[in-house]
Chains A and B, each alone.
Chain A
Amino acid sequence: MFCNYLKKMENYMRLTRSSLAIAAAVALMAGVAAERAAAEDAIIVQSTTSTKNSGLYDHILPMAKAATGVTVNVVAVGTGQAIKNARNCDGDVLLVHAKSAEKTFVEEGFGVKRFDLMYNDFVIVGPPDDPAHVTGSSSAVKALSMISASSKALFASRGDDSGTHKKERWLWKLAGVDPSAASGQWYRETGSGMGATLNAGLGMGAYVMTDRATWIAFKNKGGYQIVVEGDNAMLNQYGVILVSPEKCPEVKAVPGQKFINWLISAEGQAAIGGYRLEGKQLFFPNAQ
């Protein structure tokens, strides 16, 4: 075994040479990969998940690209995380749905200006047997009180500081209920995205508050239906903001603003309003 060692060393030298070649190839591949990302006029949009999961971006981004030449790369996370990422300068445009948090973002100098973009609404979906008997209620606050009072009803919350979660907590406050006291009992905080929370809620038979767009596009409905809708308190306003080039010098302000201008232009607004799924309009443009 060991007497062949010299021959093996020769082989080994060959191995070393080939591993050097591999290292070179690796460096090359990594370089190519980096280059691909640095394409001119490509911007990063830190976005909420509903606009992505519902397929809106697949519908409007090709039109935006054709009109402006800007390639838009979307990172879809919860609104809370999107704002946090934008604060770290890891995005050029912020597109979320939590008006007061957005205003703070602009006031603190992280954003240039906030534009209203579009709205839809939140709905509460529930299991077919509707244990809290809230079906048909048009008051979200009343429905939430009934769910909290029912001994058989569960509620699955995002629990992730997303726009939907912020709205939900606000509604609980109006209802005068502190659900966090029942966390882990009838109030289940999943700490994850809208889709994951819907999957979990369906699995345990809990009520879930979701934006309508995500619900219509959601494919694992499993007998669930909208039980509460049409309350003005559940309106869901989306806003779009250019990340400040003063705070973040590397922000691609020109293509970023170009994209925002297109979104709020008549053409962009029409594109948003024109997106339909199963015959239903998911987002209602309302830029001024």
Chain B
Amino acid sequence: MQDMAQAFGVALALAGSLDADLVEIVGLSLQVSITATLIACLFGFPLGAILATARFPGRGAVLVVVNALMGLPPVVVGLLVYLHLSRSGPLGFRGLLYTPTAMIIAQTILITPIVAALSRQVLEDLHHEYAEQFRSLSTPRWTAVNALLWDGRFALLTVALAGFGRAIAEVGAVMIVGGNIDHLTRVMTTAIALETSKGDLPLALALGMILLAIALAVNAAVMSLKLTAERHAYA
């Protein structure tokens, strides 16, 4: 427990000094995870909306699969992406392994099912509310999907945050496809793993605290954005 107290001190000192290496690592963490979240939303929201509104044979099975994919182990995603991006793999010629792009790809694959599955639930609930009106006005499918996405936008923001949270917190996938290379692919979680393996537990814990503070800041920023937008929308 002595480590805990020490970690607080280290965390404050690190955050206070704006250590250049720390800033770089935090910056890359945010760049990778935010980009992955945006791409995952780009695919996940429409997929969720389609699953929420469409009725087709085998839909139940698809929902089970999408929901199950929320539990994708990051290490497995990392391994699959590694095998594809490896120089001996099918996409090796692109030279993407051990780059931030590879990390973005892995995290996108990891969180797209989360975004799709959660937005499907949110939009399906909303669809139940709107279904009668859609029917009475014979609203075309795409118009209905668009309306649902728009009216569900605040709930979808929380869905996006869930995806972001998973991305910024995972270590297994970025460790394998990024390689934790100093000044190139090191992010917060892989730095924490490295310091733990060096036995520097206070520093590892301090980095964890900073990561938590960043996640808190991102969530607070999104929440305030949401509140402002809501005020405008319902004013």
Q: Which of A31-39, A171-179, A253-261 contacts B (4 or more CB under 8 A)?
A: A31-39
Smallest distance from the beta carbon of A193 to chain B beta carbons, Å? 5
9 contacts between A and B (CB under 8 A): A15-B153, A33-B31, A37-B95, A37-B101, A44-B181, A74-B182, A88-B89, A195-B199, A248-B88
Q: Is the CB of B98 within 8 A of A36?
A: no
B210 at the interface (CB under 8 A from A): no
Tell whether A170 is near chain B: CB-to-CB under 8 Å: no
Q: Chain A contacts of B199 at CB under 8 A?
A: 195, 198-199, 218-221
Cα A76 to Cα B196 in complex, Å, equals 14
Establish whether residues A76 and B180, one from each chain, have CB atoms under 8 Å apart when the complex forms. Answer: yes
Looking at B35-43, B58-66, B114-122, B215-223, the stretch in contact with chain A turns out to be B35-43
Q: Please name all residues of chain B whose beta carbon is closer than 8 Å to the beta carbon of A235 when the two chains form the complex.
A: none
**Nearest CB of chain A from residue B80's CB, rounded to whole Å:** 14
Interface size of A as a range: 35 or more
With both beta carbons as reference points, the residue of chain B lying nearest to A45 in the complex is identified as: B181
Q: Which of B31, B100, B150 touches A37 (beta carbons < 8 Å)?
A: B100
Q: Within the complex, what minimum Cβ distance (angstroms) separates A131 from chain B? A: 22
Interface residues of A (CB under 8 A from B): 1-2, 5, 8-9, 11-12, 15, 19, 22-23, 26, 29-30, 33-34, 36-38, 44, 49, 53, 73-76, 85, 87-90, 193-196, 198-199, 217-221, 248, 250
With A23-B42, A195-B196, A195-B197 known as contacts, the answer to whether A73 contacts B98 (CB < 8 A) is yes
Bound together, the chains give a CA A191 to CA B194 distance in angstroms of 16
Q: Report the Cα distance A9→B145, complex, angstroms.
A: 11
Cα–Cα, bound, A217→B98 (Å): 26
| Known A-B contacts A217-B198, A220-B201; A30 and B35 likewise in contact (beta carbons under 8 Å) | yes
Q: How many whole Å from B65's CB to the nearest CB in chain A?
A: 26
Which of B42, B137, B181 meets A75, CB within 8 Å? Answer: B181
Interface of B is mostly: helix
Closest B residue to A217 using CB positions: B198
| Closest chain A residue to B32, Cβ basis | A33
Interface string of B67-81 (1 = CB under 8 A from A): 000000000000000
In the complex formed, the residue of B with least CB distance to A15 is B150
**Contact A195/B198 with A2-B130, A37-B184, A89-B87 known, Cβ cut-off 8 Å:** yes
The contact size tier of chain B is 35 or more
- Are B86 and A89 in contact, CB atoms less than 8 angstroms apart? yes
Pair A12/B150 contact, Cβ less than 8 Å: yes
Q: Is the CB of B98 within 8 A of A75?
A: yes
**Across the A-B interface, how many residue pairs have beta carbons closer than 8 Å?**
120
Chain B nearest CB, measured from A51 CB (Å): 13
Q: Shortest CB–CB separation between residue B155 and chain A, in angstroms?
A: 15
How near does chain A come to B87, taking the closest CB pair, in angstroms?
A: 4
Task: Given A73-B184, A199-B196, output 4 extra A-B contacts at Cβ < 8 Å.
Answer: A33-B100, A73-B98, A199-B199, A250-B93
- Beyond A88-B87, A219-B201, whether A26 also contacts B99 by CB under 8 A is no
- A interface, over-half SS: helix
* Given contact pairs A15-B150, A195-B198, A2 touches B133 in the complex (Cβ within 8 A): yes
Docked-complex contact A34 and B99, CB < 8 angstroms: yes
- Interface positions of B from 144 to 160, Cβ below 8 Å from A: 146-147, 149-151, 153
Shortest A271–chain B CB gap in Å is 18
Known: A22-B42, A89-B87. Is A218-B101 also a contact (CB below 8 A)?
A: no
Contact partners of A220 in chain B: CB under 8 A: 199-201
Contact A49 B197 (CB under 8 A): yes
B100 touches A38 (CB 8 A): no
Most chain A CB neighbours (cut-off 10 Å) among B39, B149, B194, B197: B197
Q: B197–A194 contact, CB under 8 A?
A: yes
A33 and B101 within 8 A (CB): yes
**Contact partners of B86 in chain A: CB under 8 A:** 85, 88-90
Does B165 sit at the interface, judged by CB under 8 A?
Answer: no
Are B99 and A218 interface neighbours, CB within 8 A?
Answer: no
The answer to whether the Cβ of B96 comes within 8 Å of any Cβ in the partner chain is yes
A8 close to B197 (CB less than 8 A): no
Instruction: Report the Cα distance A90→B130, complex, angstroms.
Output: 53
- B168 on interface, CB distance cutoff 8 Å: no
B104 within 8 A of A: yes
